[in-house]
């Protein structure tokens, strides 16, 4: 004769006792595989990936049809990423991007492209944006695209090239990068 309760008498406590061994087994397997850690103080910053921005920009200057600038970044900034893309669309073109971690630990990206602003901003942002203002920095007018809950985008037309910056950096850090780009010499092709 079975000593089990009828199914209709099962409750939430029975469910918890049934799932507890399964959860413990999953935690044990994840611990053995070193795929989870306990960090009571919250997440910690890992090392910043190393990227040779100077070499990447010099290579891009030789290969791209527009003038590429190599800005000198403020003390404590570290280049951590870079890429080249083709901005699709009628007024698109090539682009070169370098990312930096600022001394405050925030990310800022510098994109240089021969694509027009109307194509470049949605390409980088991933969605259409509306201009929310302008900033005058180092003799250049920067159009600011912002909004609630999105990272700001600053873009300026330097003649043959559009310079775009975006990221989680502070407005002061955006201004520092904009000044550095305006002062940067064009690399030899």
Q: What is the pLDDT along the chain (189 residues), one digit of tens a residue?
A: 556 777 776 788 878 888 888 998 888 887 788 766 777 887 777 788 899 999 999 999 999 999 999 999 999 999 999 999 999 888 889 999 999 999 999 999 999 999 999 999 999 998 888 999 999 999 999 999 988 889 999 999 999 999 999 999 999 999 999 999 999 999 988
CA 35 to CA 31: how far, in whole Å?
6
Contacts of 61 (CB under 8 A, 6+ apart): 67, 68, 70, 186, 187, 188, 189
> Can you give the pLDDT at residue 184?
93
CA 47 to CA 25: how far, in whole Å?
32
Record the tokens describing residue 17, joined without a space. Answer: 């006792």
pTM (two decimals): 0.77
CA 118 to CA 72: how far, in whole Å?
28
- Give residue for tokens 């053995």: 32
CA 179 to CA 44: how far, in whole Å?
32
CA 56 to CA 78: how far, in whole Å?
14
The answer to whether domain 53-183 has CATH 3.30.200.100 is yes
Q: Report the candidate in 107, 114, 83, 87 with the shortest Cα–Cα distance to residue 96.
A: 83
114 touches 93 (CB < 8 A): yes
According to DSSP, the β-strands at 93-101 and 131-137 are unpaired
> Can you give the pLDDT at residue 34?
73
φ/ψ of 186, rounded to 5, equals -75, 135
Q: Give tens-digit pLDDT for 16-44.
A: 888 888 998 888 887 788 766 777 887 77
Q: Report the candidate in 75, 109, 76, 114 with the shortest Cα–Cα distance to residue 94.
A: 114
């Amino acid at each position: 004769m079975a000593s089990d309760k009828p199914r209709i008498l099962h409750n939430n406590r029975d469910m918890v006792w049934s799932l507890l061994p399964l959860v413990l087994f999953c935690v044990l397997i994840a611990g053995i595989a070193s795929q989870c850690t306990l960090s009571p103080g919250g997440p910690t910053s890992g090392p910043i990936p190393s990227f040779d921005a100077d070499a990447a920009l010099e290579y891009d200057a030789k290969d791209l049809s527009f003038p590429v600038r190599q800005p000198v970044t403020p003390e404590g900034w570290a280049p951590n990423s870079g890429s080249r893309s083709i901005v699709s669309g009628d007024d698109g073109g090539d682009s070169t991007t370098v990312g930096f971690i600022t001394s405050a630990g925030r990310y800022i990206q510098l994109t240089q492209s021969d694509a027009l602003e109307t194509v470049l901003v949605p390409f980088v942002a991933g969605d259409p944006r509306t201009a929310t203002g302008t900033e005058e920095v180092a003799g250049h007018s920067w159009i600011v695209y912002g909004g609630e809950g999105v990272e700001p985008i600053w873009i300026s037309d330097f003649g043959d090239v559009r310079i775009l910056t975006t990221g989680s950096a502070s407005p002061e850090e955006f201004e520092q990068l904009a000044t550095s780009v305006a002062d940067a010499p064009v690399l030899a092709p």
